[in-house]
């Protein structure tokens, strides 16, 4: 099939960008969206035009590198799918497809479709971990964890940090990203010690990075490629209130 | 080149603990005065940076991704081994050691492997304490499953995303050290050279991928945790950007390169569907716990799998290897699938795949149980192939996956260049000629959490290290050479794309240095690679700017290095005149088509030393002696 693409081209963070039209031929249904862009880039190279830059790496939906808006939807809008796992069987011959980077103040565009998501790392550095110094751990089975708890913690821990949640939110809120980590740690017994400080520090870091507020529209979880539940946000809100009232000393 | 393994003598059970007791230490107050440069932030790099940061060293980390969490360790699916014996099935440190040595076809160093098995139990404890959500039994205990080449269940897992969860655990610990400023992050930097002053590794040259600036960084030791080089085959299960550049540039600065031909071809990957394909996707080995591998007994059988009755199917792994069945080691399973396809029994449109069938397991355990074990893998498979593996058997074919070869390191994980260390997949140390499933994660974390922090202290504590600065002529010269190379790439302005060269190199490597090798093919590969390299430097086209984010330029540099490295890989395969593990030389096989080792001549590590541009490198050897296992023909029957 043949597609018409409107792709955001921007040289660097200092210049402004614009949509550029391209036609791409020979697209087949078993190709991924990124492989379709590879074909476009190959044809651009052969014409001595600079290829379109986009972040990507594992191409199996786990590294979290890739991600951009396809026809206005983060990762293209197929449920639980990163754009590297978006297959062209979801498109038809002659379709016009608009491709643009995540749009969020906290994710400035670096070039074309690549954005800077290091704000996420700074949020994790503020407290998104359990402080367990190497060498001090006790035997893994001394702490039995009920299977449903382990499973729920895993569901939250599956976040790949791609930023689709921020891009899909009209307020560019990072609540789903932060709440996924807060939920994982709050559910596990190992996470109890720093439970209050963690949520407070991470929420403060999120505000510092100028992510927007959450207005409960759940656009984030609708596009999340790992299906992180909106309930994690509910949990984070309750964790935050709990921390505010009782503090880290569990204050009753 | 002097190859002193420093492997301790004496009883192997106490060797590491005795060795550790006599390593030099660095006083806690002095550690912050020492800077360690960590290149790469996968399982090895992140766990090492976290541990060294906790100890109080100043660690600078460099990675070409935007975030440390994107490293390719994230994609490991199936699990991590540890000799916990939680299943009461006879596992022990010795048995994990033995399985690993045997699985590697007796081409790994005993002392290193024993130490790996020994610290494996600490890794699980450490990861649990970090909040890694491992699979649990209903009683709350940690759950285990089986992987290839073993007869016990010692693999810990977090659904099919174990690598992700372990990496996020290590990344979290490292980010805690970022908060305390013991660890600094340098994102979107690619290492281009190692700087050697007074014979010691004292710095690196990195390119800032956003500005194009070449930066000099100096320190007291350099650690390469830069992963493997499966992408020399172009199509592999590695992330697209994984490359050989860091270890290749270190090799050119004097680090010995060990067993480069040892590349693992993983048996269960989704087969190639077309020329446009950018990546091969692995289907975890854990699937072989419940999936049965088969082909039709009739060549080129056109029937759908469900129409082929039981009696007309050949479950060839179960037939050839009744003791281990579908769970034979990877090299054995891959070769068996290749033989089936080469003989015309392959299935699918191209005939280049075999079935991995879950029908029996679904019947026995139920749909829900299979879904809870492998749900996300089945989803990936369906997403890619548009086929539902709950109803139709998966189709799989082997693909390049992991490289056992890498920089030669001694027992301290130090290369032949003093002060230059290599950990994880970047070194050669533990897997011999074939890695067992779920052992890569174990090795990366063993090196980073529990080995390097001790041995690097011994180096720093025991080595006089003069003050150096970025103004040292060695930095200026290295930066100049890097700049020249970049300029040269842009100057070619030829007519072929970088991808075109990578594809052609990959084809040559796959055909001649892949699952089966022979003298004629290897000699042909060497000649082809030379030609391809010449053509690259006359006809490649690199677009874009040098002072801007430019993935084309990054890729061009990596492919240029693969075009040199591939030749050494083929040369290494040519000179190893035996078959062992992944290295199957057609000239050396048993009547049952199993690899035939030559222990008399080749029970050694082959280490290549750089001799200058376009010169054949020198081959050195580190003899391997086996005191705790008996060398036998591997038998999985």
Question: Is A76 touching B (CB cutoff 8 A)?
Answer: no
Residues 106-135 of B with CB under 8 A from A: 122, 124-131, 133-135
Residues of A with CB below 8 A from B499's CB?
38, 42
Which secondary-structure segment (H or E) carries B338? helix B330-342
Contact B51 A134 (CB under 8 A): yes
Point out the residue among A132, A141, A154 whose CB comes nearest to the CB of B130.
A132
Per-domain residue ranges for chain B?
Answer: 267-398, 473-623
Q: What's the CA gap between B354 and B395, in Å, rounded?
A: 5
Compute the distance between CA of residue B278 and CA of residue B48 in angstroms, rounded to an integer: 31
Which of A45, A117, A129 has its CB closest to that of B67? A117
Window 128-167 of A: residues touching B by CB (8 A cutoff) are 128-141, 143-147, 150-151, 153-154, 157-158, 160-161
Strand ranges for chain A from DSSP E: 3-9, 18-24, 69-70, 73-74, 96-100, 109-111, 114-115
Does B549 contact A133 at a Cβ distance shorter than 8 Å?
no
Residue A250 confidence (pLDDT) above 70: no
Among A35, A65, A85, the residue with its CB nearest the CB of B383 is: A85
Q: What is the four-CA torsion angle of B243, B248, B250, B255, rounded to 10 degrees?
A: 130
Q: Is B383 in the A-facing interface, judged by CB distances under 8 Å?
A: yes
- Contact predicate B171/B145, CB 8 Å: no
**Could you tell me how far CA A185 lies from the centroid of its own chain?**
19
Q: What are phi and psi of B540, to 5 degrees?
A: -85, 155
Which residues from A are below 8 Å from B50, CB to CB?
Answer: 134
Span B135-189, pLDDT tens digits: 999 999 999 999 888 999 999 999 889 999 999 999 999 999 999 999 999 999 9
Residue B637 pLDDT: 84
What does the pLDDT read at residue B326? 95
Mean pLDDT, range B68-90, rounded to an integer: 96
ipTM score of the complex? 0.98
Provide the Cα torsion B75, B76, B77, B78; round to 10°: 180
pLDDT band for position B635 (cuts 50, 70, 90) = confident
Chain A positions in Cβ-Cβ contact with residue B171 (cut-off 8 Å): 124
Its CATH architecture, for the domain B267-398, is Alpha-Beta Complex (3.90)
- Residue in chain A closest to B141 (alpha carbons) equals A144
Can you say how many angstroms the Cα of residue B332 is from the centroid of all Cα atoms in its chain?
18
Q: Is B350's pLDDT higher than 90?
A: no
B 204-223 residues with CB < 8 A to A = 210
Domains, chain A: 3-111 (3.10.20.30), 118-246 (1.10.1060.10)
pLDDT average, residue stretch B590-595: 88
Does residue B212 register a pLDDT over 80? Answer: yes
pLDDT tops 70 at residue A252? no
Instruction: Test A30 with B273 for CB contact under 8 angstroms.
Output: yes
For residue B593, the model assigns a pLDDT of: 85
Q: Which of A233, A39, A205, A32 is nearest to A123 (CA)?
A: A205
Give the residue on B whose Cα is nearest the Cα of A62.
B75
Residue A133's Cβ-count burial label (10 Å; 0-12, 13-18, 19+) is middle
Radius of gyration of chain A (CA): 20
Which residues of B46-179 form beta strands (DSSP E)? 58-62, 80-81, 155-156
Tell me the average pLDDT across B462-476: 96
Mean pLDDT, to the nearest integer, of B476-483? 98
CB contact under 8 A, A30 and B125: no
Interface test mutation site (partner A, options B126, B133, B501, B540, max chain A beta carbons within 10 A): B133
CATH class of B473-623: mainly alpha
Between the two ends of chain A, the Cα-to-Cα distance in Å is 66
Q: Would you call B383 helix, strand, or coil by DSSP?
A: helix
Taking each helix axis from N to C end, the angle separating B110-129 and B93-103, rounded to the nearest 10 degrees, works out to: 120
Average pLDDT over residues B86-113: 97
pLDDT of residue A249: 66
Mean pLDDT, residues B75-95: 96
Q: What is the mean pLDDT of chain A?
A: 96
Chain A residues near residue B494 by CB distance under 8 angstroms: none
With tokens 């067993």, the residue in question is B259
B580 touches B595 (CB < 8 A)? yes
Mean pLDDT of A34-54: 96
Query: Which pLDDT score, from 0 to 100, does residue A151 have?
Result: 95
State what percent of residues in chain B have pLDDT above 70: 100
Output the pLDDT for position B592: 85
**Angle formed by the axes of helices A175-187 and A118-125, nearest 10°:** 30
pLDDT of residue B353 exceeding 70: yes
Query: CB B549 to CB A53 under 8 A?
Result: yes
User: What confidence category does residue A251 fall into, taking pLDDT thresholds of 50, 70 and 90?
Assistant: low
For A83-127, write each residue's pLDDT tens digit. Answer: 999 999 999 999 999 999 999 999 999 999 999 999 999 999 999
* Structure confidence by residue, pLDDT tens digits, A112-168: 999 999 999 999 999 999 999 999 999 999 999 999 999 999 999 999 999 999 999
pLDDT value at residue B160: 86
Q: How far apart are the first and last CA of chain B?
A: 41
Mean pLDDT across A11-28: 97
Instruction: Mark which residues 85-114 of A lie under 8 Å from B by CB.
Output: 85, 87, 89, 110-111, 114
- Touching A: B residues 350-369, CB under 8 Å: none
3-state secondary structure of A223: helix
Could you tell me where the beta strands, DSSP code E, fall in A101-245? 109-111, 114-115
CA-to-CA distance for B335 and B32, rounded, in angstroms?
A: 51
**Residues B533-543: tens digit of each pLDDT:** 999 999 999 99
Residue of B140, B159, B499 with shortest CB distance to A144: B140
Instruction: Categorize the per-residue pLDDT at A218 as very low, low, confident or very high, splitting at 50, 70 and 90.
Output: very high
pLDDT digits (tens, 9 = 90+) for B377-412: 898 899 899 999 999 999 999 999 999 999 999 999
At B525 the pLDDT is 98
CB B258 within 8 A of CB B604: no
Nearest to A57 among B54, B70, B136 (CB): B70
Report residue B634's pLDDT band, with 50, 70 and 90 as the boundaries: confident
């Amino acid at each position: 099939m043949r597609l018409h693409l409107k792709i955001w081209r921007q040289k660097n963070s200092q210049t402004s960008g614009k949509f550029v039209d391209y036609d791409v031929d020979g697209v087949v249904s078993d190709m991924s969206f990124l492989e379709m862009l590879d074909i476009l880039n190959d044809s651009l190279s052969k014409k001595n035009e600079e290829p379109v830059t986009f972040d990507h790496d594992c191409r199996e939906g786990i590294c979290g590198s890739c991600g951009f808006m396809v026809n206005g939807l983060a990762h293209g809008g197929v449920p639980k799918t990163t754009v590297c796992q978006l297959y062209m069987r979801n498109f038809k011959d002659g379709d016009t497809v608009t491709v643009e980077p995540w749009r969020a103040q906290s994710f400035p565009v670096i070039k074309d479709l690549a954005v800077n998501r290091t704000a996420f790392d700074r949020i994790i550095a503020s407290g998104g971990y359990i402080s367990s110094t190497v060498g001090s751990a006790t035997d893994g089975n001394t702490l039995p964890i009920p299977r449903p708890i382990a499973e729920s913690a895993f569901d939250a821990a599956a976040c790949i940090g791609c930023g689709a949640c921020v891009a899909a939110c009209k307020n560019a809120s990072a609540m789903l990203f932060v709440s996924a980590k807060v939920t994982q740690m709050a559910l596990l017994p190992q996470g109890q010690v720093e439970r209050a400080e963690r949520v407070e520090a991470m929420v403060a870091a999120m505000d510092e990075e100028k992510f927007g507020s959450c207005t409960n529209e759940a656009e984030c979880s609708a596009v999340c490629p790992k299906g992180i539940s909106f309930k994690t946000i509910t949990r984070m809100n309750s964790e935050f209130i709990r921390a505010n009232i009782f503090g880290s000393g569990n204050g009753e | 080149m002097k190859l002193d393994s420093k492997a301790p003598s004496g009883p192997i059970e106490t060797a590491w603990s005795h060795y550790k007791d006599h390593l030099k230490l660095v006083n806690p107050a002095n550690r912050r005065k020492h800077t360690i440069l960590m290149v790469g932030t996968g399982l090895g790099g992140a766990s090492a940076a976290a541990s060294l940061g906790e100890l109080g060293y100043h660690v600078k980390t460099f990675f070409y991704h935007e975030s440390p969490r994107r490293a390719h360790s994230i994609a490991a699916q199936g699990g991590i081994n540890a000799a916990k014996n939680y299943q009461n099935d006879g596992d022990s440190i010795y048995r994990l050691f033995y399985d690993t040595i045997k699985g590697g076809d007796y081409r790994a160093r005993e002392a290193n492997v024993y130490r790996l098995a020994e610290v494996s139990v600490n890794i699980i404890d450490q990861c649990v304490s970090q909040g890694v959500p491992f699979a649990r039994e209903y009683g709350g205990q940690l759950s285990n499953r089986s992987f290839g080449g073993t007869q016990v269940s010692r693999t810990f897992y977090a659904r099919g995303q174990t690598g992700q969860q372990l990496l996020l655990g290590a990344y979290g610990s490292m980010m805690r050290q970022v908060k305390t400023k013991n660890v600094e992050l340098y994102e979107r930097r690619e290492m281009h050279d190692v700087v050697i002053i007074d014979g010691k590794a004292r710095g690196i040259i990195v390119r800032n991928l956003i500005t194009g600036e070449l930066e000099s960084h100096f320190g007291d030791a350099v650690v390469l945790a830069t992963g493997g080089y499966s992408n020399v085959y172009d199509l592999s299960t590695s992330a697209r950007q994984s490359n050989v550049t860091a270890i290749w540039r270190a090799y050119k600065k004097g680090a010995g390169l060990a067993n480069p031909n040892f590349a693992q071809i993983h048996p269960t990957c989704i087969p190639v569907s077309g020329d446009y394909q950018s990546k091969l996707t692995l289907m975890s080995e854990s699937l072989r716990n419940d999936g049965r591998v088969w082909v039709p007994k009739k060549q080129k059988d056109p029937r759908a799998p469900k129409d082929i009755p039981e009696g007309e199917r050949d479950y060839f792994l179960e037939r050839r290897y009744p003791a281990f069945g579908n769970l034979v080691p990877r090299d054995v399973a891959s070769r068996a699938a290749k033989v089936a396809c080469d003989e015309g029994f392959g299935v699918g449109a191209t005939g280049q795949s075999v079935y991995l069938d879950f029908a029996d397991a679904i019947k026995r355990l139920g749909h829900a149980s299979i879904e809870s074990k492998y749900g996300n893998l089945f989803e990936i498979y369906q997403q890619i192939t548009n086929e539902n593996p709950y109803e139709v058997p998966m189709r799989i074919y082997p693909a390049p996956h992991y490289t056992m070869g890498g920089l030669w390191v001694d027992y301290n994980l130090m290369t032949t260049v003093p002060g230059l260390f290599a950990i994880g997949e970047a070194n050669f140390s533990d897997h011999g000629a074939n890695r067992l499933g779920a052992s890569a994660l174990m090795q990366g974390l063993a090196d980073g959490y529990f080995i390097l922090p001790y041995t690097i202290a011994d180096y720093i504590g025991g080595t006089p290290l003069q003050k150096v600065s970025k103004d040292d002529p060695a930095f200026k010269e290295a930066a100049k050479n890097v700049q020249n190379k970049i300029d040269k790439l842009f100057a070619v302005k030829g007519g072929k794309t970088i991808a075109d060269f990578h594809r052609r190199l990959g084809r040559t490597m796959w055909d001649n240095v892949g699952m089966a090798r022979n003298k004629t093919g290897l000699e042909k590969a060497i000649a082809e690679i030379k030609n391809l390299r010449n053509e690259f430097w006359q006809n490649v086209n690199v677009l874009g700017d040098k002072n801007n984010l430019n993935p084309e330029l990054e890729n061009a540099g990596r492919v240029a290095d693969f075009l040199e490295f591939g030749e050494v890989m083929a040369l290494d395969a040519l000179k190893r005149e035996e078959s062992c593990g992944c290295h199957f030389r057609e000239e050396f096989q048993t009547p049952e088509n199993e690899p035939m080792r030559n222990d008399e001549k080749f029970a050694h590590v082959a280490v290549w030393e750089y001799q200058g541009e376009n010169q054949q490198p020198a081959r050195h050897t580190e003899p391997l002696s086996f005191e705790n296992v008996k060398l036998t023909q591997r038998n999985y029957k």
